[in-house]
Amino acid sequence: MPPQPHRPKLLAWQVFRGSDVIRHGLLTAHQLRSSAWVRVRHDVYADARLDRDHALACRAATLQLPPDALIAGPSSAYLHGVEHAADFTDEVHVLAPRPAGLRSQHGLRVHSTLLALPPAAQGAAGLVAPDPTRQLPADGLPVLAAGTPLRTGPTAAAWETAVWLEPIRAIGIVDALLGRGLTTPAALAEIARRNADRPGGRRARWVFGLADAGAGSPAESALRVRLVLAGLPRPAAQPPVRLPSGLVLHPDLAWPAFRVAVEYDGHWHADPDQLHRDRRRLNQLVTAGWVVLHVTSRRFRHEFPAVVREIRAALTSRGWRP
């Protein structure tokens, strides 16, 4: 029969090595297979009540990393608050010195490119020290429980993400880091300058050049970048547009010089109240002489060439010349 759930107080809400808790007599191998625990990695378990998100994956990976390794790239961006940067099933990206002997494996991607950071960034890189041990009150035996992972700072995470990930996904993450004020265009330009000759340096500069703090979602970021790659002029992300009435609106993407805007209709537009508010807002733009085009998530995925033709035609009708 299935093992009865048994959750010692010291392991509640924790991530730990199964071999450690068995050795210290907190659980048996049979008890580890109960519904109280979830196996996250080889020999790494977690309280089943914890959210199965990328933070849990990072905490689990931390238990198997050398002390000088850092959570990096999109995984670091997630820990800095960019929730769409990674999910539970994505690989945890780690930065480790070559002598560490750590290799990529299932669920773990290991990198060894150390960045050149300006002196100010080295002291304020956003590193958070882990707390890998907890003490048992009775006999003092240590239980290796994952604390807060040590991670690269937001600007370094942006550079790593730009170099390691597919560009459109990377730009969405860099947009979010900028939009949350976790880094700045100046900081990105500086880290790109200092690492220009490193592998991926040119790629990172290209990603940073297309990033925009105004992006409202990863999908909007992807749409903006794909339109540019299709040969259209770069749109502004949610720029302020002041109407004759004094009202200021922020269309998702816009070319203010041509008074053309694009709205991305994502899944949230299934909410009737939200749809009503958005349509009323956009009607005011149309009344003020703007052309407003709508791009649904379905059309973005399956009819993108037609979307480009429609936007190109609207811009051309307003005076744009390729």
Q: What is the tens place of the pLDDT at every residue in 144-173?
A: 566 677 899 999 999 999 999 999 999 999
The residue from 154, 189, 206 where one domain ends is 154
pLDDT, averaged across the chain: 86
The 10s digit of each residue's pLDDT in 58-114 is: 999 998 888 888 999 999 999 999 999 999 999 999 998 775 677 888 899 999 866
**CA dihedral for 7, 11, 16, 21, sign (positive or negative):** negative
pLDDT attached to residue 141? 39
Question: Are 145 and 258 members of one domain?
Answer: no
Question: Are 274 and 145 members of one domain?
Answer: no
Distance CA 316, CA 210 (A): 23
What is the tally of structural domains in the chain?
2
Distance CA 240, CA 284 (A): 14
Distance CA 288, CA 124 (A): 47
pLDDT above 70: percentage of residues in the chain? 84
User: What is the domain extent for residue 309?
Assistant: 223-322
**pLDDT band (50, 70, 90) for residue 240:** very high
Please, is 299 exposed, middle or buried when counting C-beta atoms within 10 Å of its C-beta (0-12, 13-18, 19+)?
middle
The residue from 109, 124, 154 where one domain ends is 154
Residue that wins the pLDDT comparison between 41 and 279: 41
- The answer to whether residue 284 is domain-embedded is yes
Question: Are 141 and 46 members of one domain?
Answer: yes
Question: Are 148 and 266 members of one domain?
Answer: no
The tokens describing 290, both together, are 């703007």
Question: Are 29 and 147 members of one domain?
Answer: yes
- The answer to whether residue 212 is domain-embedded is no
- The answer to whether residue 126 is domain-embedded is yes
Q: What is the pTM of this model?
A: 0.86
The residue from 136, 154, 172 where one domain ends is 154
**pLDDT band (50, 70, 90) for residue 282:** confident
